[in-house]
Chain A
Amino acid sequence: MGHMEATVTSETDEQPIAFEEFFEAERRRLLRALYLLTGNREEAEEVVQESFIAVWERWDRIGAMDDPTGYLFRTALNRYRSRVRRAGRAARKAVGQAHGGDRFAEAEDRVEIGRALADLSPRRREAIVLTELLGYGSAEAGRLMGVADATVRRLAQDARAELKTTLEVRDA
Chain B
Amino acid sequence: MPDLREDLERLADFVGEPRTFVDLERSRRRRERRRRAEGLIAGLAVIVVAALFLVTTFDGRPVATPQGTADALPTATPTVWPENAINGDSAERVQAAVDNGDGTLQWRTDPKEVTERFARQILGRSVDITGIAMQPGHWKASMIPCPAGFLQGDAGCGNPEDGLQIDLVQPEAQGDGGIWSVAAVTSDRLDVSIDAPAGEPVAEGADVTFNVSQLGSSTAAHLRVVGSNGCNVVFAAEPDVTADGQRILRVPKLYQASPSCVASAGGYAIAYVTDDTTLALPDPIAEPTAIESPWITVVPFAIDWDREIITPTPSSGIGSSDPSGAVPTDSPSVPGSANGPAGIEIPAAIESASSQSCSPIPATDFDIFFKGVQLVGCGRWTAGTELTMHFESAEPNVATGLMLFHTDQCSEHLCRGEPVWRAPVEIDPPARTFHVDPLDAGSYILLDPVHPMTTAVAIDVS
Which residues of A are interface residues toward B (Cβ below 8 A)? 1-9, 20, 23-24, 27-28, 30-33, 35-36, 41, 44-45, 48-50, 52-54, 56-62, 65, 71, 74-75, 78-79, 81-83, 85-86, 98, 109, 111, 113-114, 117, 121, 128-129, 132-133, 146-148, 150-151, 154, 160, 163-164
Contacts and interface: CB of A to CB of B under 8 A. Distances in A.
Nearest to B447: A1
7 tightest Cβ-Cβ pairs between the two chains A and B: A3-B369, A32-B12, A35-B15, A58-B124, A78-B279, A57-B148, A31-B18
B24 A53 contact: yes
A82 B278 contact: yes
A109 B279 contact: no
Contacts of B392: 148, 150-151, 154
Interface string B331-349: 0000000000000000000
Contacts of A9: 287-288
B33 interface: no
B263 interface: no
A133 B430 CA distance: 27
B94 to A, nearest CB: 18
Contacts of A56: 24, 28, 148
Interface string B1-23: 10011011111111111110101
11 contacts: A5-B371, A28-B18, A30-B18, A32-B13, A36-B11, A58-B124, A60-B120, A117-B11, A128-B4, A150-B392, A151-B390
Interface string B393-427: 01000000000000000000000000000000000
A3 B394 contact: yes
A106 to B, nearest CB: 14
Interface residues of B, number: 63
Per DSSP, chain A at the interface is helix
Contact of B16 (A1, A41, A160): A41
B148 A82 contact: no
Contacts of B28: 53, 56-57
Contacts of A117: 8, 11
A162 to B, nearest CB: 11
Contacts of A111: 10-11
B18 A133 contact: no
B433 to A, nearest CB: 8
B77 to A, nearest CB: 24
B368 interface: yes
Nearest to A35: B15
A142 to B, nearest CB: 11
B390 A154 contact: yes
Given A58-B148, A128-B8, 4 more contacts: A1-B455, A4-B233, A48-B18, A50-B277
A49 B19 contact: yes
Contacts of B19: 27, 45, 48-49
